[in-house]
Amino acid sequence: MTGRENITDILCIGCQKGSTSWLHSVVNCHPGTAAFPDREPQTSTNKEAHFWDWNHDRGVEWYRDLMAQDDPALLTMDFTPEYAMMSDAQIAECKALNPSATVIYILRDPLVRAVSAIRMHMLWHLGKDHRDPLVMDDRFWLFFRDAMVVRHNHYLRNVRAWRAAYPDLVLLNYEAFHNDRAASVSALFDRLGLDRSAITGASAERLARLMAGRIWVSEPFPIDRSVLMFLHGLTWRTRQEARDELGMAFGEFTRLLDG
């Protein structure tokens, strides 16, 4: 990849539980993009390189080799939600390595995002068939800690830090994006300089399935009201800051509270 301006051309920095996996699959339907090969456990599938959190001590050349493609014209992708929380120094290094990268940040209602993240960690610890209610006990605090709920919900701080390095940060509202998915995806392809008409054959069929599919469908699970109220209070400020400072309104939380 010598002579390339960026190691990674498309960076998606989150948010966690914000349909980043779905979006990665959609963008990768385009023949002008390339996903890196899975190197588990160093990477998370072919989507999350985790260079700045898991693999930084492996060095820049490890990251460059991971992203290397036979065709240098292909746009490389790294969709790692943990990047949203990077320090100013880490973001500065990212800018030096990827000066003209397109950075995408999807924001989702912070209460719904937190509940989804905690459920993910609960199932990791207890098994996918676990059905007991989520209550505010010692196990809840373990899941809460592992999900890094507070850090992942620092939307305003993260946006400001990344915009300082990438003023053209692509900021997406999860709800608005999926309410008009076709227009949203077309606009994103245009932003990436990718002609959607180039997606043909099996890739076009895969894209059609993705566009029609639901995102991270999971069975409803019981949550004690005290847990829900605690998380609602914890995430209230994040929602207000997103509305007042970023012009982004969320409504998903009402279904949880009313349910």
Residue ranges per domain, the chain?
10-258
Q: Which of 30, 21, 61 is nearest to 192 (CA)?
A: 30
Report the share of the chain in percent with pLDDT over 90: 85
- Please, what is the average pLDDT of the chain? 93
CATH number of 10-258: 3.40.50.300
Q: Which of 25, 75, 18, 67 is nearest to 192 (CA)?
A: 75
Q: Is the peptide bond before 31 cis (omega within 30 degrees of 0)?
A: no
Cα 105 to Cα 83: distance, rounded to the nearest angstrom: 10
Q: Which of 51, 82, 84, 83 is nearest to 66 (CA)?
A: 51
Average pLDDT over every residue of 187-210: 97
Cα 85 to Cα 91: distance, rounded to the nearest angstrom: 9
Q: What is the pLDDT of residues 108-148, one digit of tens each?
A: 999 999 999 998 888 888 777 777 888 899 999 999 999 99
Q: What is the pLDDT of residues 64-93, one digit of tens each?
A: 999 999 999 999 999 999 999 999 999 999
- Residue 143 tokens read as 């899941």
With 50 as the cut, is the pLDDT of residue 15 above it?
A: yes
Its pTM stands at 0.94
Look at the alpha carbons of 27, 31, 36, 40 in this order and tell me if their dihedral is positive or negative. Answer: positive
- Residue 211 tokens read as 């566009």
With 80 as the cut, is the pLDDT of residue 6 above it?
A: yes
